[in-house]
Amino acid sequence: MLPPIMVAVPETMARARARCATETNVDQPTVLIISDDAEFSSAVTGRWQMERSVPAFTLMTGDLWQGAEANGFELALVGAVRPPVLDAALAAFEATGKPVLFVAHDAQAAKRVREMHPRAMVLRQFEGWLDALVLVGSESLRRSEAMARAHTAEQANRALEPQAMLGRYILEQRHTVNNALTSVLGNSELLLAEPGSLSAASRSQLDTIRHMALRIHEILQRFSSLEKELSCAAKPLQTEAGRTPRALAAGS
């Protein structure tokens, strides 16, 4: 199944964007192609659809792009458009930090973009430029996806950090708590071992204290077992992480 290609026209822009978002896989990246040359857009989408991994496409002319949001796309490809539109499009994508690739017809246009927009990628339309464009575009999308996953993982780690701090605190304090429990258990057992020294009600209360102390001790033992299991699980990951640089160096 080929990915959706949305061709935006002025009166249906918002409706078409919503339809494209519905038809596109949530995890499928979207490439925006801005060009006044219809053959350029057709050539790019046709060549990309020969690849195994194909993004969704949104096609716009230069005049229509003005006012569109750059954040809705993972990659922008800019072809032949008027200079004011070109500068505005490149500046908008540079502000978002997302990759943008300008395909230049001549050396003068390529030089101008490199000087005015150093963060933009520039590709000349030499022989085989379509293959180069798809290669660079695919790598840019993979990099963006990796960065997005890293950002998501970082946010998840931050959300779990308070719980991790609490867990570390409990593990650090378990020896202190165990010492206190040893004292409680020892004294309660000594008192219970003396017949006739306490009333029946006092012995019942003391026996409850002893049983609750034993339950707390069991919980702390589970913490210790969990710590050992986590340590054993982390060792293979640490070993693999340590081997990776050496393996890469040996293979290079």
In this structure, what CATH number is given to the domain that contains residue 41? 3.40.50.2300
Is there a single domain that holds both residue 74 and residue 170?
no
Percent of the residues in the chain that have a pLDDT greater than 70, as a whole number:
79
Residue 252 placed within a domain: no
Overall size of the chain counted in residues: 252
* Cα(20)–Cα(58) distance, integer angstroms: 8
With 0-12 CB in 10 A as exposed, 13-18 as middle and 19+ as buried, what is 78? buried
Per residue in 134-178, pLDDT (tens digit) is: 999 999 888 888 888 888 888 888 888 887 787 778 777 878 888
pLDDT at position 103 over 90:
yes
pLDDT at 85 over 60: yes
Q: Do residue 204 and residue 111 come from a single domain?
A: no
Which of 134, 124, 37, 130 shows the shortest CA–CA distance to 79?
37
Segment 3-31 mean pLDDT? 53
Check whether 4 has a pLDDT greater than 70: no
Domain that holds residue 74: 5-125
**Sorting pLDDT into bands at 50, 70 and 90, what band is 200?**
confident
The pTM (predicted TM-score) of the whole model is 0.57
Q: Smallest Cα–Cα separation from 5: which of 18, 20, 26?
A: 20
Alpha-helix runs per DSSP H in the chain: 13-23, 38-48, 62-65, 83-96, 107-116, 129-192, 200-251
Kindly report, residue by residue over 129-140, the tens digit of the pLDDT.
Answer: 999 999 999 998
Which residue, of 80, 103, 125, is where some domain finishes? 125
Same domain, 19 and 87: yes
Residue 74 DSSP code: S
In this structure, is residue 251 part of a structural domain? no
